Amino acid sequence: MKDAGEEFPSGPFTYKQGYYFDKFKVMPHELPEFRKLIQQAYVEALCWIFAYYYKGFFIAYFHH
């Protein structure tokens, strides 16, 4: 990933590539790995929310 101060290089990038660079400073060649990390974090958050909702804070927070 690039530093926040670095600019997006010119080139034929898609809207999606530009979005990920603007928001997260991720270069196009890093997108597949970055998207996997985002997907994993999203699923982990959903699991935590469901555990909290059905079992309470203590179980959700300390169950790892």
pLDDT of residue 52: 81
- The dihedral of CA 21, 27, 29, 31: what is its sign? negative
Q: Where are the domains of the chain?
A: 15-62
pLDDT per position in the chain (64 positions), as tens? 555 555 555 667 888 898 899 999 999 999 999 999 999 999 999 988 888 888 776 655 665 5
pLDDT of residue 8: 55
pLDDT of residue 26: 92
pTM: 0.60
Closest of 9, 45, 3, 41 to residue 25, by C-alpha: 3
| Residues near 17 by beta carbon (within 8 Å), at least 6 away in sequence | 28, 31
pLDDT of residue 35: 94
